[in-house]
Amino acid sequence: MALTRMIRTTLWVLLGVVLAWVLLSVFLAPPHLISTTPYPVDQTPATRSLDYQDITIPSDDLLLEGWWIPASQPIADLIFVHGAGSNRISQYIGSLDFYRTLNELNISVVTMDIRNHGNSPVTDGTLRMGLAEWPDVVATGQWLDQHHPSDRPRILFGASMGGSTVIHAMRNGLAADAVILLDPLLDVLDSMMKVGQVETGFPPLLFSIAARSAIQRYGLPHRETSPLAMAKTLDLPILLIQDWEDPVTRSPFAAELANTNPRVTLARVPAISMDEACLDGKEEWGTHVAAHPCRPDWTRETVSAFIQSVVNQAPSL
């Protein structure tokens, strides 16, 4: 009798815990999954001995903060789009060092803090996984047209959520000659679950309800509107740089895109050990967008070869 009562009590407690978790996932967790706090930009390209210009880019009713980093003998122009919770000097990407690499490859760069990030204005302090951010990329293309018009190839670069943002921008009419995606956000549901795991250490399945609730409540890209589905239809050269052990934007989705879209060149980042110095401070985020900090020579050669192929295919002037 006592054992039966104990079992019954245990079951009721477990049921209460499950119900509380479901209610938490449906009503309280979704806003936290998409919230972001802007981190100010406190370095400039001058720390890498680069000439640059501070710029402001009108986007809707916002003025985005950014930089124009011209190459001395440019062969292409590149629009750089950072990821969620980051800014144009992302430590994870090693953005400033990457700008220097691009500059050495004779590629001019325009980069900005997208809305709700860095030194750019805060609207609602949320992440929409490219759905609300893509106008900032289109606006950057328009700024480039107005201030530095040229017939050079234009390349879009997107890292993590920046990849999704670039894909959305192209689907909404932004013209480009090529795209480079670095560990791109291709499946919002999966990445939100994995971020939950990275931030808490709990199994990703526990965040399934919260992630689905956030997608439903905020209309985030999913299924036929997912970045993966849209990227499958893009018809231009795409370099997809993917770390196979990325804990957040996972490799199966990159492989699916490469297997589906023949315009995609999949470049698998050479293996990175978790105890390498290039990952110091990243903790559970691990190898996410770590290609350039950890494998700079490989990244330089891969990007250079791709951009040179784009330049070679451009119409002769």
pLDDT tens-digit series, residues 1-59: 565 766 666 665 566 655 556 556 666 778 888 889 899 999 999 999 999 999 999 99
Outline where DSSP puts E strands in the chain: 53-59, 62-69, 76-81, 107-112, 154-159, 178-182, 238-242, 264-268
For residues 99, 100, 101, 105, the Cα torsion angle rounded to the nearest 10 degrees is 100
Tokens (6 digits) for 22: 């479901």
pLDDT at 249 over 70: yes
Of 154, 77, 131, the closest CA to residue 109 belongs to 77
Query: What per-residue confidence (pLDDT) applies to 25?
Result: 63
Query: What per-residue confidence (pLDDT) applies to 33?
Result: 84
Please identify, in words, the CATH class of the domain defined by 35-187+226-313: alpha beta
pLDDT at 148 over 60: yes
pLDDT tens-digit series, residues 203-223: 999 899 989 999 999 999 998
C-alpha distance across the termini of the chain, in Å: 90
pLDDT tens-digit series, residues 265-300: 999 999 999 999 999 999 999 999 999 999 999 999
Tokens (6 digits) for 272: 């990175």
- CA dist., res. 216 & res. 33, Å (int): 13
Tokens (6 digits) for 168: 């959305």
- CA dist., res. 259 & res. 269, Å (int): 17
30-34, 230-234, 312-316: least confidently modelled range: 312-316
- CA dist., res. 80 & res. 95, Å (int): 9
pLDDT tens-digit series, residues 62-106: 999 999 999 999 999 999 999 999 999 999 999 999 999 999 999
Query: What per-residue confidence (pLDDT) applies to 30?
Result: 82
29-33, 148-152, 168-172: least confidently modelled range: 29-33
Query: How crowded is residue 308: how many other Cβ atoms within 10 Å of its Cβ?
Result: 14
pLDDT at 235 over 70: yes
In sequence order, the 6+-apart residues with CB closer than 8 A to the CB of 317 are 151
